[in-house]
Amino acid sequence: MSQTIEQLCADWLKAKQAEQKANAERIAIEDQIVSLTGKRDEGAKTVDATGFKITVTGKISRKMDWKAWETIKAQIPADMHPVKFKPELDEKGVKWLADNQPDIYKLLPITVAPAKTAVEVKPVEVAA
C-alpha cells in the first residue's frame, strides 16, 4: 500500500534530521582525527593507521576584492595577474534565446538534461 503525502513528508523530515545528526557526528569525528594526525595549513598530509590510510587536507580560502583589484591591477604586469576568467553559461540568456530566437538557439552547442528536482518540506503550525 502506498503512503500518503503526509506520511512521506513526516518520513522526509525524520530522514533529514537523521542526516543532519549524522553529519554533525562525522564532523566531530573528523575534528578528533585532525587533533591526532595534525594538519598542514594548506595541502595534504597522509597518515597510516592499522588498516587505514588517512589523508588530511588543509585548505585556505582566498577571495579577491574586485573593486580594489580594478584600482591596482595596472601596477602589476599583465602576465603576473593572479586572475583567471572562465566562460560561464548565461542561463537567463539561453532561456531567452530559446523562447525568442529559436533559430539562433538551435546553433548553440549545449546539452540540456533534467537536473535533480529539489524537495523541501517544512512543518506548518495548525491553528487551534
pLDDT in tens, 3-19: 999 999 999 999 999 99
Interior angle at CA 63, CA 57 and CA 68, nearest 5: 160
Sorted by sequence, the CB contacts under 8 Å of residue 11 that are 6+ apart come out as: 3
* Per-residue pLDDT tens over the stretch 63-110: 999 999 999 999 999 999 999 989 999 999 999 999 999 999 999 999
Confidence of residue 127 (pLDDT cuts 50, 70, 90): confident
How confident is residue 125, by pLDDT bands cut at 50, 70 and 90? confident
Are 81 and 73 in contact, with CB atoms under 8 Å apart?
yes
Q: Estimate to the nearest angstrom the gap between the alpha carbon of 120 and the chain centroid.
A: 17
